[in-house]
């Protein structure tokens, strides 16, 4: 994307912008984001990262619990096929 921006003469180090389109008139306004909009964007990004980390941790815990359960079943003498049948 950076190469594309350079070819078009765009400065990629500028302030983030908002593009507002009036669907009735077709008017397009490109304006810099306000300080509040930038702060909200950053807060949203942090919240999304936190949500993703929580989801990843929950998935890892679920996989660890499943592996532990399968190991316990194997210790009881079940075959891999029997364990797989129980997992369905």
The model's pLDDT over 38-78, given as tens digits with 9 standing for 90+, comes to 999 999 999 999 999 999 999 999 999 999 999 999 999 99
Q: Which of 57, 88, 83, 53 has its CA nearest to residue 68?
A: 83
Q: Which of 20, 46, 50 has its CA nearest to residue 32?
A: 20
Distance in angstroms (rounded) separating the CA atoms of residues 31 and 38 = 13
Q: Is residue 88 over pLDDT 60? A: yes
Q: List strand residue ranges (DSSP E) for 1-88, in order.
A: 17-21, 28-32
Q: Is residue 86 over pLDDT 60? A: yes
End-to-end Cα spacing for the chain: 45
pTM (predicted TM-score): 0.61
pLDDT at residue number 87: 83
């Amino acid at each position: 994307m950076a190469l594309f921006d350079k070819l078009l003469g765009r400065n990629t180090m500028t302030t983030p912008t908002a593009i507002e389109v009036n669907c009735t008139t077709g008017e397009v306004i490109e304006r810099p984001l306000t300080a509040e909009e930038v702060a909200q964007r950053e807060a949203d990004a942090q919240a999304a990262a936190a949500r993703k980390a929580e989801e990843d941790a929950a998935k890892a815990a679920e996989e660890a619990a499943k592996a532990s359960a399968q190991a316990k079943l194997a210790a009881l003498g079940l075959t891999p096929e029997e364990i797989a049948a129980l997992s369905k």
